[in-house]
């Protein structure tokens, strides 16, 4: 039985507090040892019964989200998620998917993965499937390496290609300055550059082992303790493709943040701060140093599971 109205769900942006990357696997992916944190920027996905499958995309923050970079065909990850769940469950009722985006596109914040996770839980409710958490995680992993984390949210250790997630406790709210970049970066291109730099011997990745001090620092909620563990093996290849990222990261560090960090495969830059007030000051300092457009965000926040709302017909 299908819900008569529409169903809406949401999922968060993610950052990687540590992104350790191992050597390329035969399947074209890289093994990861990562610690994810969900930030309070969310995409909302609404699924509504319709005569045909479709997707439309909108945003209330056009300065942050480049809508023209989001596919609105069958390649759209939210639409693929809805169709995958339908195939798996033997559902033949199409849905119209609407995505309200807050998460920048192609920024290393897993916005597409958030859309897929939100679409999975929205359609699961719309079609009254009651899919088990383990089955939802398996479908999420088929859709993309970051999609399982977007389901669970909070903070988590990620292994495999990032799709095997184990929740981690966080002792307090962590404040970040987020500096998006309108141009975006292609994740496969950054991984390919990583491979090239490793073969050349130009970089020494930290690799997939996550130090035990990192979960402990996260559990303490102390941003000073956590700042010592922030590292991203994709920072070197992303900076090789976009040299201006090195200056941006250094500028944030000089502007009063505890530590700079590239988000995922970039080009979004992140700056960990020890309070909301400090984060606001770093935003102003970045603007006076020629880097306007930074925003404050915080985490952890919940994943898509549990975000479901039924809307009237
Ligand atoms: O899993 P996802 O679809 O997000 O991956 C996009 C691309 O990023 C992959 O096709 C691959 O090129 C690269 N990738 C990788 N290793 C990972 C995750 C992603 O090489 N662990």
Confidence class for position 1, pLDDT limits 50, 70, 90: low
Other beta carbons within 10 angstroms of residue 31's beta carbon come to 16
Residue 22 Cβ contacting ligand 1 at under 6 Å: no
Q: Which of 58-67, 110-119, 127-136 comes out lowest in average pLDDT?
A: 58-67
**Can you give the pLDDT at residue 39?**
98
Residue 32 Cβ contacting ligand 1 at under 6 Å: yes
Of these residues, 14, 43, 100, 181, which one is catalytic?
14
Centre of ligand 1 from the C-alpha of residue 188, in Å: 6
Residue 127 Cβ contacting ligand 1 at under 6 Å: no
User: What is the pLDDT averaged over residues 136-164?
Assistant: 98
Protein residue with least CA distance to atom 12, ligand 1: 188
- Mutate which of 29, 80, 147, 161 for ligand 1 pocket (most atoms within 8 A of beta carbon): 29
Average pLDDT of the chain, as a whole number: 96
Q: What is the pLDDT of residues 183-199, one digit of tens each?
A: 889 999 999 999 999 99
Protein residue with least CA distance to atom 14, ligand 1: 29
Q: Is 101 a catalytic residue?
A: no
Centre of ligand 1 from the C-alpha of residue 270, in Å: 21
Protein residue with least CA distance to atom 21, ligand 1: 161
**Can you give the pLDDT at residue 170?**
98
188 burial level (CB within 10 Å; 0-12, 13-18, 19+):
exposed
**Can you give the pLDDT at residue 64?**
87
Confidence class for position 285, pLDDT limits 50, 70, 90: very high
For residue 13, pLDDT over 60 is answered with: yes
Nearest to 73 by CA among 58, 56, 91: 56
Centre of ligand 1 from the C-alpha of residue 287, in Å: 33
- Decide if 113 contacts 147 (C-beta within 8 A): yes
For residue 2, pLDDT over 80 is answered with: no
Interatomic CA distance for residues 294 and 15, integer angstroms: 16
**Can you give the pLDDT at residue 63?**
86
**Can you point out the beta strands (E) in the chain?**
6-21, 32-49, 54-59, 95-101, 155-159, 164-167, 174-179, 231-232, 259-262, 269-273, 295-299, 309-311
Centre of ligand 1 from the C-alpha of residue 192, in Å: 10
110 Cα nearest atom in ligand 1:
4
146 Cα nearest atom in ligand 1:
4
User: What is the pLDDT averaged over residues 284-305?
Assistant: 96
Residue 187 Cβ contacting ligand 1 at under 6 Å: yes
Percent of the chain beyond pLDDT 90?
92
Of these residues, 100, 115, 124, 146, which one is catalytic?
146
**Can you give the pLDDT at residue 313?**
74
């Amino acid at each position: 039985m299908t819900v008569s109205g529409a169903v809406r769900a949401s999922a968060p942006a993610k950052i990687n507090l540590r992104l350790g990357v191992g050597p390329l696997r035969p399947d074209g992916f890289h093994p990861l040892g990562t610690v994810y944190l969900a930030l309070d920027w969310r995409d909302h996905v609404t699924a509504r019964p319709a005569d045909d499958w479709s997707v439309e995309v909108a945003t209330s923050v056009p300065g942050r989200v480049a809508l023209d970079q989001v596919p609105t065909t069958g390649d759209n990850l939210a639409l693929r998620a809805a169709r995958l769940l339908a195939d798996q469950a033997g559902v033949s009722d199409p849905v119209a998917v609407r995505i309200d985006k807050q998460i920048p596109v192609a920024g290393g914040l897993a916005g597409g993965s958030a859309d897929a996770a939100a679409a999975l839980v929205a359609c699961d409710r719309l079609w009254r499937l009651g899919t088990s958490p383990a089955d939802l995680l398996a479908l999420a992993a088929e859709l993309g390496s970051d999609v399982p984390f977007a389901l669970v949210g909070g903070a988590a250790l990620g292994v495999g290609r990032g799709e095997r997630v184990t929740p981690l406790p966080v002792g307090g709210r962590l404040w970040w300055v987020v500096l998006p970049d309108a141009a975006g970066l292609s994740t496969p291109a950054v991984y390919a550059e990583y491979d090239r730099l490793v073969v050349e011997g130009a970089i020494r990745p930290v690799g997939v082992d996550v130090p035990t001090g990192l979960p402990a620092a996260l559990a303490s909620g102390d941003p000073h303790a956590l700042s010592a563990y922030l590292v991203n093996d994709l920072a070197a290849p992303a900076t090789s493709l976009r040299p201006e990222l090195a200056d941006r990261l250094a500028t944030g560090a000089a502007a009063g943040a505890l530590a700079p960090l590239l988000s995922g495969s970039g080009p979004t830059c992140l700056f960990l701060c020890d309070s909301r007030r400090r984060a606001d000051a770093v935003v102003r300092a970045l603007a006076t140093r020629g880097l306007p457009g930074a925003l404050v965000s915080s985490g952890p926040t919940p994943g898509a599971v549990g975000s479901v709302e039924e809307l009237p017909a």
